[in-house]
Structure formats: C-alpha cells, structure tokens
Amino acid sequence: MIRVQNLVKTFGSFTAVNDVSFEVAAGEIFAFLGPNGAGKTTTIKMLTTLLHPTSGSIELDGLDPRKHQNQVRQRFGIVFQDPSLDGDLTAWENMEIHGVLYHVPHKTRRQRSEELLKLFELWDRRNDQVKKFSGGMKRRLEIARGFLHTPKILFLDEPTLGLDPQSRNQLWSHVKRVNEAEKVTVMLTTHYMDEADRVAHRVGIIDHGKLVTQGTPAEIKEQTGTASLEDAFLKLTGSTIRDESAGSADQMRQFAKMWQQQRR
Amino acid sequence: MSAIYILWLRELKRYTRSRAQIIASLGQPMLYLLVLGFGLNPVFKKAGYGSYFQFIAPGVIGMSVLFSSIFSGLGLLWDRQFGFLKETLVAPVPRIEIMIGRTLGGCTVAVIQGLLVLTICLISGFRPAGWLAIPVAVGFMVLIALLFAALGVIFGSSLQDMQGFQLIMNFLVLPIYFLSGAMFPLTNQGKVLGFITALDPLSYGIDGMRSVLLSAATFRPAFGISIDLAVLIGVGCILLVLGAWRFSKIEV
C-alpha cells in the first residue's frame, strides 16, 4: 500500500531524511518511531504531498504523490501532530466541511458522519462548538474525520500526545476497530513505545534521518536482546537527548495560548 | 464548486457566531460618525462645504468595509496557528478554489458589516440623495471588499506569525484609511497629499460612494464615477491574481 524507496530530503545543508526505504502492506498498522527531530514528521509530510522529496520515490496505492496529487489526497486521511479543527464550528460542521472537501456524496456523508461520531462517542456533543471539547475529544473527532472519506491509508502523527491513559487506550481501540472493520492501512508515529508494541503489526525505527531497523515488535526485541520495545529503542538510538530549536510555529502556539487566556 | 460554497459558508458562520465581536467592531465607526460627524459639523458648514455628518457617513462605511475585509484575509494567520489551514491544504481540492471560497466569504462578511454601519448612519440622520442610490453604493462596497480581501490574502499568506500583524495594522491599514479622504475632502489638496491620496485605492471607493449617495449640490467628486469604477476593478483584479499566486505558495 505504501512503498518508499531511497527517500531523501535536504533543507539547505541539513539532511532531514537520508536514504529511507520501507514498505507497508495493505491492512497493516505500521509504527514509525524515532527521537525528536529524527525525520518522522518530514517523512509523513512527503508521503502526504505537503513536501516534495529531494530524491527517491514514493508510491501510495500505486500512485506517485507528485504526479497524481489529488488522487493520492483522496486516498489518505491524516491526523496532524497539531490540532487542525475549526474551534468556532461544531463537531458536525467540521465533519461536513471535510466531507465536502473530499467529494463525499451528500447522503453517504451524513450516514458516515453519524456512524463515526457514534463510534468515537461524540454523537451527543455533535452540535457543540469544538473549542469547548477536551483534548481527548478533539483528537477523537480528528480521527473520526480522517476516516470520513473511507481512505485506504490513515496517517496518525503523534495522535496521543498530551492525552491521559484512558483517552489513549480508548483512542487506540477505536483505531484498531476501524482498521479491522474497513481494512484501512494505518501508519502512525508516537513516543509511547508501549502503544506501538501493543497496536502495531510492524515497527520502523528512524534516527538522524536514517532507518535503523524494521520488523515486528517481537523481532526487534529479539534482535536487540531486550525485554521491552522501549529498551530496544534506547539501545538502538542511544540515550542522548535531542534538542530541537523552537521554530516560529512554537512561538505562535505560545502567543495563541496567552491570547486565549486573556479572552477568558 | 461545492468546496468554494462550504468555505464561504464557514466564514459566514464564524462571523454570525461571534456576536460580541460584531458589536465591538461597530464601536469605532460609531465614534467617528457620531463624535467627529457632529463635532466638526459647525466648522465644516462655516467653510461652505455643507453638512460634515452627511460627508463623513460614506467614509465611515468605507472604513468598516476596509477593516473587515483586510482582517478576513489576515484570518489566514489564525487558521495557520490553529491548524485548520492544513486541513484545507491537504484536501483533494485545487488551491485556487480554497482561496476563492475564503475571499468571497470575507468579502460577504465585509459587505454585511458595511450594511450594518449604513443602517446606523440612516438611523442617526444620514439621508442619501435618493433611495435608489443605496443599491449602487452597495455595489461599491462589494468592489472595495473584494479588493481589500485580496490584499489581506496577499499579506496573510506571506506572514508567518502574529508579530507582523501590528506592523500591517500601523503601516498598511491605518494609512489606507487616513489617506483615503474618508474624513476630509480630496479636492483642493496640496500636491504631495493629493498625489499620495490618488495612489490609495480606497480613495476611489469612497469617492464613488459619495458621488452616488450625496447630492451633486453638496459634493463635488474628486475623480468621477467612471474613473472610480475603472480603478477599483483594475486594481482589484491585479490583487486577486497576486493573492491567488501567494496563496498557492503557502507551505505548512
């Protein structure tokens, strides 16, 4: 379903993704793991047509994102690292906009929105503005929205960041259920190794832009001779801390927080 | 087409939902209209220009259309901040449709805002030369709104964060307003000021609105309606093309 070969992305003299190759089969849940700044999000951005690769090839469902941009976009759903909902609109309206932008026919749109909102336990709150939702509810809504146009692939970029264990558990059980029911291929990134261990069929570990290893969680543990995926991860990527410099996006986020507090 | 419609509808919904903001945004025009309008009225009359209240009303309408349309374009900054922009940019929809939907939405909101201020003007005593002039004035509002919504998109697509917002407010929006002749007659000005005001697209919008709303006996147009229309449409088209181009270059 996803095929990546010798993918490279450079920003100036900095190589963010360096010769990465992997494949994800249809219906599989693939976890893409790595320390901060390892190149996870950059890779996902290239897979989802937001960035152009410097070199290498990508195929999603047999299509090249560069040549068939809109067909590829129709085939995947994505939940970004940062929220991407419109807080002034209701949960239902957010689903509506998504459905229209992805050309889902009117009847199917209503039906599927209802099913998904019920499945993700948001149906009762469908007419509330999203800004009144908790972090967990927002995440659930984003994932429900990602499934609305029946994508073949769903990308989840750190979907459980900042959620409590209850919400995290619930979120993954929903994702697993839809993965099984609709045979959706899922590619996710996370910093919680236990989640990856539990949810993913296969795991790829990336560090400094290079794919260090890939395989089932069991294979990776065996390969490194460790008891948990977290130990295996630390053994493979070392225990030094990566410092990412704060970009303008982070500064904006802080500014927005201050602004919201003032308005309250 | 449906993408344009749903994004247009989104702008409208966001506007109608923020009632506090609607009322707040009427505060400034009302200050100009009621305080300056009535306060400077005697002086203006003595100088032989007729009623200042009648004179400033179209200027204040133009001001509210200008502010609200430019801010709708700058709303891109908010959507970038709160992430909704990404949702629209990865959708299988051409970017131009997204830009058109947003711009038309912002333009509609600005015209509604202009109509609200027009209503306030009428309630507080503004009388147009003829009631048929009002639909024509609304046409001018639409042209002003489209032009400045496009200008807002150009800056909204080019700026990365909110720091630039103050800069735009002080060095773009306010000068456009003050130099447009919204508050003073553009005829009989000195060479320098006359030249600068002629460069300001809003001057033509307000001149056009005054030409239709005020009677020929009390107001002498600075440019004339046909020039006003030509400049507004011409500059508007150029800015729309530039806006579409800048919008297509946004990276998230």
Q: Which ipTM did the prediction report?
A: 0.87
- Which H, E and C letters describe B37-106, residue by residue? HHHCHHHHHHCCCCCHHHHHHHHHHHHHHHHHHHHHHHHHHHHHHCCHHHHHHCCCCCHHHHHHHHHHHH
B187-205 as b/e: b if 16+ CB within 10 A: eebeeeeeeebbebbbbbb
Question: Hey, is the C-beta of B246 within 8 angstroms of any chain A C-beta?
Answer: no
Residue A264: per-residue pLDDT: 46
Residue of A31, A53, A57, A29 whose CA lies nearest to A42: A53
Q: How far is B119 from chain A (nearest CA, A)?
A: 27
Contacts of A114 (CB under 8 A, 6+ apart): A123
Give the confidence band of A252 by pLDDT, cuts at 50, 70, 90.
low
Residue of B183, B180, B54, B178 whose CA lies nearest to B124: B54
pLDDT > 60? residue B118:
yes
Which amino acid belongs to residue B251? E
Contacts of B13 in chain A (CB under 8 A): 88-89, 93
CA distance to A16, A208, B110, B196, per residue, from B11 (Å): 37, 42, 11, 33
B112-133 as b/e: b if 16+ CB within 10 A: bbbbbbbebbeeeebebbeeeb
Quick check: is A120 in a domain?
A: no
Q: How far is A144 from chain B (nearest CA, A)?
A: 14
Contact indicator for A179, A5 with CB cutoff of 8 Å: no
Contacts of B87 in chain A (CB under 8 A): 84-86, 97-98, 101
Quick check: is A136 in a domain?
A: no
Q: How far is B142 from chain A (nearest CA, A)?
A: 26
- pLDDT, tens digit (0-9, with 9 covering 90-100), for B70-106: 999 888 888 888 889 989 999 999 999 999 999 999 9
The DSSP secondary structure of A46-114, one letter per residue, reads HHTTSS--SEEEEEETTB-TTTSHHHHHHHEEEE-SS----TTSBHHHHHHHHHHHTT--HHHHHHHHH
Quick check: is A114 in a domain?
A: no
Nearest to A102 among B14, B81, B91 (CB): B91
Quick check: is A159 in a domain?
A: yes
Contacts of A50 in chain B (CB under 8 A): 86, 89-90, 251-252
Q: How far is A101 from chain B (nearest CA, A)?
A: 5
Position with higher pLDDT, B128 vs B216:
B128
- pLDDT, tens digit (0-9, with 9 covering 90-100), for A48-81: 988 889 999 999 999 998 888 889 999 999 998 8
Task: Indicate which CATH number applies to the domain containing A180.
Answer: 3.40.50.300
Quick check: is A49 in a domain?
A: yes
In which domain, by residue range, is A79 found?
2-88+147-263
Interface test with B, best of A48, A60, A84 (most B CBs within 10 A): A84
Nearest to B93 among A85, A101, A129 (CB): A101
Q: How far is B169 from chain A (nearest CA, A)?
A: 18
Mean pLDDT of B210-225: 90
- pLDDT, tens digit (0-9, with 9 covering 90-100), for A160-181: 887 888 888 988 998 898 899 9
* Cα A84 from chain centre: 12
Quick check: is A232 in a domain?
A: yes
Quick check: is A209 in a domain?
A: yes
Quick check: is A208 in a domain?
A: yes
Q: Enter the pTM of the model.
A: 0.87
Residue A189 β-bridge partners: A32, A157
Interface test with A, best of B8, B87, B96, B158 (most A CBs within 10 A): B87
Contacts of A26 (CB under 8 A, 6+ apart): A1, A152, A183, A185
Yes or no, beta carbons of B90 and A50 under 8 Å apart = yes
Q: Which residue is closest to A260 within chain B, CA to CA? A: B82
Nearest to B161 among A87, A129, A252 (CB): A252
How much of chain A, in percent, has pLDDT values that exceed 70?
92
Residue B75: per-residue pLDDT: 87
Sign for the CA dihedral angle at B203, B209, B212, B213 comes to: negative
Phi/psi of residue A167, nearest 5 degrees: -65, -35
Q: How many domains does chain A have?
A: 1
